[in-house]
Amino acid sequence: MSLLSRNPEAPRSWQGELPVFSRYTLGLAGERFFREIKDNGRIMGTHCENCDRIYVPAAVFCERCLSELDEWLDVGNSGRVYTFTILHENYEGSPLDQPEIVAFIRIRDGGLIHRLGEIELDEVRFDMPVEAVFKPKDQRAGSILDIEYFRPTP
């Protein structure tokens, strides 16, 4: 309850932005994980002997027991669709020209979130096997986008 009155002619809002620009280093694990994607076109994981789990993306520590992980392995370029969604709008709410399929692809005990491609919207199935399609090596920058999308394994 306010004793001070509201002035209906007063400016209602003040507009502005939060200027936050970030440059992230990828970390001890990320540095190697993304270099492998960039240079060798392969996805790596790390194995925790204590918990017998394979983390993808690779991590230097196990979140369950906090041990240091130094056992790296090539986990292959394929996985299975754990869940997916079909996007019809972009994040600002405007419609997309073409709907996009985004999925979480389970690889070992972890996985990657990525787009699905070379597939019709009504063909996506839970647990379907998919494989990564990499950009040509000279276009890779050491980022998750070095993978174009995952497509159904023939």
Q: Which residues are near other proteins by CB under 8 A?
A: 1-7, 9-31, 34-35, 38, 60-61, 63-66, 68, 142-143
CB of 44 to other proteins, least distance (A): 14
Supply φ then ψ for residue 111, to 5 degrees. 160, -175
CA dihedral 139, 140, 144, 147 (to 10 degrees): 60
Considering the complex, state which of residue 28 and residue 73 has its C-beta at the smaller distance from other proteins: 28
Considering the complex, state which of residue 50 and residue 83 has its C-beta at the smaller distance from other proteins: 50
Cα–Cα dist 128/112, whole Å: 15
Considering the complex, state which of residue 4 and residue 120 has its C-beta at the smaller distance from other proteins: 4
CB of 40 to other proteins, least distance (A): 14
CB of 34 to other proteins, least distance (A): 6
Considering the complex, state which of residue 5 and residue 94 has its C-beta at the smaller distance from other proteins: 5
Considering the complex, state which of residue 143 and residue 153 has its C-beta at the smaller distance from other proteins: 143
Cα–Cα dist 124/28, whole Å: 35
3-state secondary structure of 42: coil
Identify which of 49, 50, 66, 55 has the alpha carbon closest to the alpha carbon of residue 29.
55
Identify which of 98, 56, 52 has the alpha carbon closest to the alpha carbon of residue 77.
56
CB of 89 to other proteins, least distance (A): 15
CB of 108 to other proteins, least distance (A): 17
Residues 6+ apart with CB under 8 A from 36: 42, 43, 44
